[in-house]
Amino acid sequence: MEISSLDVEATVHAGAPWVLSRDLPDPVGWADFGYSPDLTANLINERRSRGVIVSAAHAFPLPKGLAPTNRWLASVDALDELAYRVITGRLAQNVDSALGGEVLSYRLLSGGPGWTVRDFRYGVSARRNRLRDAMANSGFGGLGTLDVKDYYPSIQLEPLRSVLDGIGVTSAVADPLIEILRSWQSEWDVRGVPVGPESSGLLGNIMLISVDKIVADACDPFTRVTDDYLMSIGSNEFPPLVEAVTRELARLSLELNESKVRHFVTRDDAGLRLFDREIEDLVIALRDDGDRGVERVREAFETEARAELPNESRLRWCLKVLCNRGDPFALRLVEESPTIARIDPKGFGAYFSRLVGDKKIDLDWLVSLAVQDATPGSAAIQLQALLACSKARISKALAVPLEEVALHSGDWVPLRCAYVEAWAASEAGKLGHAVEAAIAVGTPQHRRALILSVRRWRPSTKRTAGLTKLRAVAPEALPAIEWISDGCPRLAA
């Protein structure tokens, strides 16, 4: 499987918004790969010719709300993820064409190596509208929900390959995909398909097409977002459907998530599952009287933050309103109970960054949140706090605890990369230290983060000498080195 410079160029342009905004963001949006697509393609192909299919992957925990459980993201080498996206793009059109209109996640806007998908808000809105219409129908018998247990990590390669064969994906296209997934599994213990890369969403869509047919025969309408089914179905019809879906999932080596098998009989119960009336009231309040509306949003946020069992979707919605308005109200509550941020680490990260830009946040507190000893429950919050710190010019005194983690190899690789960004942007950052650390560390993600941090220092003889030294010892990072050497040009729109 050869990857061309055109593959790289199209993929980088299409994937840049995703890699900039995801839970483990790329600090430059793959701009270094887009700057030199020929070099990038050659690096991927040369590595594969040596038998290196994937070079690194690390697990990183993302909290599932306030529950003491985590979803484990796969932090993979950026070159590997780029290749994964190119390969998936070659079968993206087959996948999308095989899906019914009931599937609302990761639907294509464009295909090929430059594939893009609809924003998740499209699926949320379409799902609500369709089921609102169903609930208004006189024949409405209730709302059923189904979900697959531990979905992405449970996807087995042989059933996946059979599904791809069934939708007309040729061996020439399917084999490289299965090869990269098998390599992640065997060499880096990545179960199933990696959680995190946008490409996995396409595979998650197609794996359940046989289940879609069973659900479609039993009820109308239904919707699916990845593995999350909502359907209009009566109480008598629901148990036989659950049995049929369970059998089909077993054939695919998958398992139903029993905790999410539920049936809501009345319209009121179904409505509570789909719609939050308090949010709808807050939307009206904001529209009618902005100041009073914001005050009500603050009250709602505090109520949920202090509740024993908070409404997590309502809390996330209120946080977004406060973030958009640069309102620091939520800070006091997070300072009192930092675990609240488990509900939405990425949302709180955006909130912290907004307040950093507006100079409405105590940087001492933000740094202290970022540099605590990492645990599976705190790591995602710390990463987002570090990214917010990178938007400020942290003082030397505050930046002291950043340097030790930023410049040395160790666990929590995505977190170390975020430490690099925060340290390099601070008053304590030193060009020579970044270069020497990039030479010393061996983890691809950490090394690339250190090399990309060189962009934060102005062009100088010292910077040129450092980049020259890096060319000799880090050939796999040449796209980043050349991009920085040329002044970090941004991708064309």
> What pLDDT is recorded for position 255?
97
> What pLDDT is recorded for position 275?
78
Q: How confident is the model at residue 492 (pLDDT cuts 50, 70, 90)?
A: low
Q: How confident is the model at residue 103 (pLDDT cuts 50, 70, 90)?
A: very high
CA-CA-CA-CA torsion sign (336, 339, 343, 349): positive
pLDDT in tens, 327-384: 999 999 999 999 999 999 999 999 999 999 999 999 999 999 999 999 999 999 999 9
Taking residues 437-454, report their average pLDDT.
96
Residue with tokens 């807050």: 282
Whether 192 maps to a domain, the answer reads yes
Residue that finishes a domain, picked among 269, 285, 308: 269
Assess contact for 74 and 181: CB atoms under 8 A: no
Side chain identity, residue 252: L
Residue 144 in tokens: 């059923």
| Kind and range of the H or E run holding 144 | strand 143-147
> What pLDDT is recorded for position 146?
96
d(CA 297, CA 285): 9
d(CA 297, CA 287): 12
d(CA 207, CA 156): 10
Residues 6+ apart with CB under 8 A from 287: 293
Q: What percent of the chain has pLDDT over 70?
A: 99
> What pLDDT is recorded for position 97?
96
pLDDT in tens, 129-164: 888 787 777 677 888 999 999 999 999 999 999 999
Residue with tokens 């047919």: 213
Residue 476 in tokens: 């796999």
CA-CA-CA-CA torsion sign (91, 94, 97, 100): negative
Whether 332 maps to a domain, the answer reads no
Residue with tokens 């077993």: 250
Whether 346 maps to a domain, the answer reads no
d(CA 491, CA 272): 44
d(CA 289, CA 79): 49
Whether 173 maps to a domain, the answer reads yes
Residue of 205, 215, 133, 138 lying closest to 167 (CA atoms): 205
On the question of pLDDT at 493 being above 60, the answer is no
d(CA 20, CA 216): 37
Residue with tokens 């003082």: 395
On the question of pLDDT at 221 being above 90, the answer is no
What pTM, to 2 d.p., does this model score? 0.94
Q: Are strands 70-76 and 143-147 parallel, antiparallel or unpaired?
A: unpaired
pLDDT in tens, 36-63: 999 999 999 999 999 999 999 999 999 9
Q: Please, is 200 exposed, middle or buried when counting C-beta atoms within 10 Å of its C-beta (0-12, 13-18, 19+)?
A: buried
d(CA 202, CA 38): 27
Same domain, yes or no, for 262 and 403? no
Same domain, yes or no, for 262 and 411? no
Assess contact for 69 and 87: CB atoms under 8 A: no
> What pLDDT is recorded for position 260?
92
d(CA 442, CA 460): 26
Assess contact for 321 and 294: CB atoms under 8 A: yes
CA-CA-CA-CA torsion sign (452, 357, 342, 406): positive
Please give the distance of CA 134 from its chain centroid, rounded to a whole number.
32
Residue with tokens 């980088």: 12
Side chain identity, residue 203: L
pLDDT in tens, 240-292: 999 999 999 999 999 999 999 999 888 777 777 777 888 989 999 999 988 99
| Kind and range of the H or E run holding 356 | helix 345-357
> What pLDDT is recorded for position 135?
77
Assess contact for 71 and 32: CB atoms under 8 A: no
Whether 78 maps to a domain, the answer reads yes
On the question of pLDDT at 439 being above 60, the answer is yes
Whether 92 maps to a domain, the answer reads yes
> What pLDDT is recorded for position 268?
76
Residue that finishes a domain, picked among 234, 269, 304: 269
Taking residues 214-225, report their average pLDDT.
91
Q: What percent of the chain has pLDDT over 90?
A: 85
Query: Looking at the DSSP assignment, which residues form a beta bridge with residue 71?
Result: 62
Mean model confidence pLDDT for the chain: 93
User: Based on the structure, what is the number of domains in the chain?
Assistant: 2
On the question of pLDDT at 179 being above 90, the answer is yes
Residue with tokens 């992957």: 57
Name the residue range of residue 458's domain. 394-493
Residue that finishes a domain, picked among 236, 269, 302: 269
Whether 206 maps to a domain, the answer reads yes
Residue of 391, 430, 427 lying closest to 407 (CA atoms): 430
Whether 467 maps to a domain, the answer reads yes
Q: Please, is 129 exposed, middle or buried when counting C-beta atoms within 10 Å of its C-beta (0-12, 13-18, 19+)?
A: exposed
> What pLDDT is recorded for position 419?
98
The better pLDDT of the pair 188, 131 is held by 188
> What pLDDT is recorded for position 124?
81
